[in-house]
Amino acid sequence: MLSFVLTNDRQPRTRFYRVDIAYNLFGEYSVVREWGPKGRRGAHLLVWFSNLREACLAAEGWRKRALRRGYRLEGKMP
């Protein structure tokens, strides 16, 4: 699981972005993305992939995109 937290001085709430990769019962891999204000349930999107490599490449792309938008790894200082 990859978790990112965005802090923004202009916004009163800290925002989160999360990416999870999971194997399902049908032999596929799922990538779940969630985002929104920290401490609340945010929006989520589920995408299926036929193999782990494709799922990892997609998750890595979304991780890089989140980092470009100002998200930082949870627990690390920016």
Q: With left for phi above 0 and alpha for psi between -120 and 50, is residue 46 left, alpha or beta?
A: beta
State CA 39 to chain mean position distance.
15
* pLDDT, mean of residues 6-32: 80
For 26-76, the pLDDT digits (tens) are 889 999 898 888 888 889 999 999 999 999 999 999 988 888 888 877 765
DSSP one-letter string for 7-19: --TTSSS-EEEEE
What pLDDT score does 8 carry? 55
What is the structure's pLDDT at 77? 42
Are the C-beta atoms of 33 and 18 separated by less than 8 Å? yes
Which domains does the chain show, CATH number per domain? 2-73 (2.20.140)
How far apart, in whole angstroms, are the C-alpha atoms of residue 21 and residue 33?
Answer: 9
d(CA 18, CA 38): 11
